[in-house]
Structure 1
Amino acid sequence: MRQVTENTMFRQLSHDHMKAKLHSYNPQRFLATPKGRKVMKSLNTFKITILCGCITILVLRGTLGPGGFFGGNPQSVDLRDQIIRSQRARVLAQVEEAIPDEVTASKFVEEENWDPNTPYTLGPKITDWDAQRETWNTLNAGMNQTLSGKPKTLLVSGSQPGPCANPMGDFYHLKFLKNRIDYARLHGLEFFYNMATFEKEMSSFWAKLPLLRKMMLNHPDVEWVWWMDSDAIFTDFTFEMPMEKYGNNNLIVHGFHNLLYEQHRWIGLNTGSFLIRNCQWSLDLLDALAPFGPQGPTRVKAGELFTEKLVDRPAFEADDQSALVYLILHGDPKWKAHTYLEWEFFLHGYWKYVVYNYEEMMAKNHPGYGDERWPFVTHFVGCKPCKLGANAENDECFRQMERAFNFADNQVLEKYGYSHRALGSFKTQKIRRDSSDPLGLENVEHSEQIISEQEVDQDMNEARI
């Protein structure tokens, strides 16, 4: 009986001991054992394998497109583009529907509606602008010159007020903006970048006309306004416009005499990059161009006129370049008399003629020429960076835009000891080591010391004589 009681008590103690052990069990003790570590290693390996598999699937899906591995729906790419378009349209619609607050609304003035039966104008007619500017500059002496004494020039450019349908378009607008800022900073130019619509009738090519007029009238201290399209880029940072050669000309535009005056071709000049003097003649020219520009039937009819009068012009609505060519050939003789066709350097360099020669230029020449040896401006005429959808033409435009930007940017970065690894790469690397004498003054001081010692010796020799 006593033995049975002892066995029962022993079993009870063993059961209580086991419960205490289980209650105090810590998983960390198991993980600290070799077997536990092996289990955890296998579990981590399994997690990494699953993660890599998911990433691989995502990458392959992005590479192959929405159709997946087996092609899928051939219209799925178009569907993706439609979704992107609808999202952007919804964002823009929300912006358009925004209701101004009371403070903002109080600043608005009622806009005048243009009557299509009358010639379009950019604003009230001004006939004494030269006299007004002369008076203003007399009262503000020296304001129309830079610190170096050159006539003050305002570089003007811009892009559409809303986002591009293709995000890559906005990316290269930003890069080209950076390019203009760098050139303006290095050459002491004023700079204005516009993203606002000044006149709703003057869209597309024609948006520059009201903008240029605003710049002239609101910057009487500026002698020249330099327009540059959003798809043009400076590619020679050493070259400067030789303003002294233009005399009393009021419009400096890239072009060729034979193509314009002999052949009457609509590509006889290019308005992607040009300089126009801030004077009465220029305001009159803008006034003469404006009636061709309002969107709608007026612009379409003017396009038909230009196609009829200008050689090899395709049939499309009127553009500002064709309008300028038309006025020079068939308008008032004063337009031709004060227009300078610049052909000695690339104020406008058609991108397909220059971008594929960049490496050869870098090997044989240096910046400062501005011509075919090192183009001053590279202009991506025909590229549509904002257009949505991948195609071979757009891809080539983006590739060459990147190369052109880096070709130009190397001229900025080399001052700081860097360069792009290749023209097609945004990555940079050092091209020289840092120095403890970054200003190079040690050599100057040493040279000055030698010269000073030589002067002392010379004075002593003269004293002996």
Structure 2
Amino acid sequence: MLRQIQESAMLRQLSQDQMKAALHSYHPSRYLATPKGRKMVKTLNTFKITILCGFITLLVLRGTLGPGGMFSSGAPQVTDLREQIIKSQRARVLAQVDEAIPDETTASKFVEEDEWDPSTPYKLGPKITDWDSQREAWNALNPGMNRTVDGKPKTLLVSGSQPGPCANPLGDFYHLKFLKNRIDYARLHGLEFFYNMATFEKEMSSFWAKLPLLRKMMLNHPGVEWIWWMDSDAIFTDMTFEMPMEKYAKSNLVVHGFHNLLFEQHRWIGLNTGSFLIRNCQWSLDLLDALAPFGPEGITRVEAGKLLTAKLVERPVFEADDQSALVYLILYGDPTWKAKTHIEWEFLLHGYWKYVVYNYEELMAKNHPGFGDERWPFVTHFVGCKPCKLGATPENDECFKQMERAFNFADNQVLEKYGYTHAALGSFKTQKIRRDSADPLGLKQDASSARRIDKQTIKSDPFTAKLELTEQDTEEVTSQLDITQERQRLNNLDLSE
């Protein structure tokens, strides 16, 4: 009996020791390795991801809707929206001014010319006072040279870029793409095109370089009625839209702008000179002559900038730019500058890129080319981007990314004619969207249907039918024609008798 009690005690002690050893060796990973444990881990991970996504969504909504977020009281006021537009326009033009400042090389290294005396007002060239009569005489000697094939006034599209290569090779790559875009638009709409890479006047550097170039174009192309200037960082994004030139019959300058900002508030951002049309006439030569004294590089441009800052609302202190100078002349100069200037706002002759590029997919889903306005922007202008600047920055990366999207958005409208389109707006790759045909012009189908003439037609008009049918189809027509001719001969005999 005693032995049995001792053995029972030993067994109890052994089981307790085994239990302690088992508990000591237990680890949570042993449970997580089971199917039930793995399922619980998966559920926890999904819960974590859901919380993270919800937090990110709240941040995005707050940034998109503004400080008021989803709980703001009503839509933003119109005045607030207008102020946002004004601020963005101001930042945009300042970025353009900063971009135009020469960096490592100046215009004086690319052109040789007579020295200009700074004590005298700067001139673009000899004064011309009878240009209209000179052009009239030239057009009389060259009838029809000032019109396109379809009778429209001849227009010369002018653009250009710096004489030397970009420090960043991507800059030259996108200059090439934008050049291709201009060539496509000019070809589609019958425009003549001139792309300049030469400096004509060393004093007129940066954005002032367009003045001597425009004068040269007018004087050397007397048959051209309109000259269309386009900055190197602007691109056509509606390849179907065409300028309504009949609308500007009484105007000599067409520029994108806002009437209230320009004429009521006298703001220096009331118009934009990145894309505009100017008529080839005496008025335009006089306007270029009036703008020229503001532009010479150096102290003259600096002092002119002080004048413009004093006269134009909210203009910062910086050297004179052609846009501010044009605003100044329209507001305070000869009344004819205002009378002959058309401020275009009904379509996007200049569309600030940050307002349009992010909407391309939505526009493609809802609209089609040909509007030229917010539904399908005519021109997208990448003001503030510096494609030639060396070094990768977040700003430049975004510019290059959106330049590629804008180019492909426009290029799709060209490639679709040939049965292709870009795989995506951000992709170089193309994809076929239409099968090739053995009858691309559709003429074979029309010809075969024309040959299918029924017997009634053959009997009623065999002469015409014989002309329309091929040799293999003419046997029946010929026999019918012989019968018809014999009947006519007999009728003639009856008449003669």
CA distance in 2, matches of 1:195, 1:155: 15
2:318 alignment counterpart = 316
Gaps of 5+ in 1: 1-87, 98-107, 461-465
Question: How far apart are the structure 2 equivalents of 1:455 and 1:297?
Answer: 90
In the alignment, is the contact (CA less than 8 A) between 2:309 and 2:315 conserved in 1? yes
Q: 1:262 to 1:437 in 2, by over 3 A?
A: same
| Residue equivalent to 1:206 | 208
| Partner of residue 357, structure 1 | 359
* Counterpart selection for 1:113 from 112, 115, 124: 115
Which deviates further from its counterpart, 432-441 or 408-417? 432-441
Alignment of 1:139-288 (within 5 A): 139-288=141-290
Counterpart for residue 389 of structure 2: 387
SS of residue in 1 equivalent to 2:228: strand
Instruction: Tell me the distance in 1 between the aligned counterparts of 2:358 and 2:332.
Output: 38
Equivalent AA in structure 2 for residue 338 of structure 1:
K
Rounded Cα–Cα distance in structure 2 between residues aligned with 1:248 and 1:455: 60
Find the aligned partners of 2:347 and 2:448 in 1 and give their Cα distance: 42
AA aligned to 1:411 is Q
Residue type of the partner of 1:255? G
Partner of 1:32: none
Structure-2 change in CA distance of 1:209 and 1:455 (3 Å)? farther
Distance across 1 between alignment mates of 2:221 and 2:286: 17
CA contact (8 A) 2:113 2:201 kept: no
Deviation of 1:444 after TM superposition, in Å, equals 2.6
1:227 Cα deviation after fit: 0.3
CA deviation profile, 1:302-333 (whole Å, cap 9, x unmatched): 11111221122222111101110110011110
The CA deviation at 1:115 is 1.0
361 and 458 in structure 1: CA distance in 2 versus 1, 3 angstrom threshold: farther
| 1:454–1:350 distance in 2 versus 1, CA, 3 Å | farther
Find the residue that maps to 1:419 and give its secondary structure. Answer: strand
Measured against aligned partners, the alpha-carbon deviations of 1:230-269 in whole angstroms (never above 9, x if no partner) come to: 0000001111111001122000111111111111111111
Structure 1 residues 331, 360: CA separation in 2 closer, same or farther (over 3 Å shift)? same
Give the Å deviation of 1:132. Answer: 0.3
Pairing of 1:73-152 with structure 2 (within 5 A): 111-152=113-154
Q: Which SS does the other structure have where 1:225 is aligned?
A: strand
The answer for the alignment partner of 2:341 in structure 1 is 339
The equivalent of 1:456 in structure 2 is 457
Secondary structure of 1:151's aligned partner: coil
- 1:410 maps to 412
Give 1:199's aligned amino acid: E
Label 1:299 to 1:436 Cα distance change in 2 as closer, same or farther (>3 A): same
Q: What is the aligned residue count? A: 359
TM-score (norm 2): 0.69
Provide the rounded CA distance (Å) in 2 between the counterparts of 1:458 and 1:375: 59
1:96: how far off? Answer: 6.2
User: Structure 2 CA distance, aligned partners of 1:237 and 1:307?
Assistant: 38
**What is the deviation of 1:458?**
11
Q: Tell me how far 1:216 sits from its aligned partner.
A: 0.1
Give, in whole Å, the separation in 1 of the partners of 2:154 and 2:300.
36
**Contact 2:420/2:431, CA 8 A, preserved across alignment:** yes
Q: Secondary structure at the match of 2:274?
A: strand
Contact in 1 for aligned 2:412/2:422 (Cα 8 Å)? yes
Cα deviation, residue 455, structure 1: 9.1
Q: Which residue identity does 1:200 align to in structure 2?
A: K
Distance (whole Å) between structure 1 residues aligned to residue 166 and residue 278 of structure 2: 29
Q: Report what 1:36 is aligned to.
A: none
- Could you tell which deviates more after superposition, 135-144 or 299-308? 299-308
Percent identity at matched positions? 81
Q: Is the 8 A contact 2:421 2:433 kept in 1?
A: yes
Flag the structure with larger Rg. 2
Summarize the Cα distance change of 1:444–1:205 in structure 2 as closer, same or farther, 3 Å threshold: same
Mean alpha-carbon deviation: is it higher for 187-196 or for 436-445?
Answer: 436-445
Summarize deviations over 1:280-309 as a string: whole Å, max 9, x none. 000000000000000001111111111221
**How far apart, CA to CA, are the structure 2 residues paired with 1:323 and 1:207?**
14
How far off its partner does 1:219 sit?
0.3
Deviation per residue, 1:148-173 (Å, 9 max, x gap): 11111000000000111111111110
1:285 maps to a residue whose letter is L
| TM norm structure 1 | 0.74
SS in 1 for 2:411: helix
Flag the 1:455–1:349 CA change in 2: closer, same or farther, 3 A.
farther
Match of 1:83 in 2: none
2:148 alignment partner, SS class: coil
Go from structure 1 to structure 2 and tell me whether the alpha carbon gap of 1:459 and 1:409 turns closer, same or farther (over 3 Å shift): same
1:146–1:262 distance in 2 versus 1, CA, 3 Å: same
Instruction: Supply the AA of the counterpart residue of 1:401.
Output: M
Q: Distance in 1 between matches of 2:206 and 2:456?
A: 69
Match of 2:298 among 296, 299, 304: 296
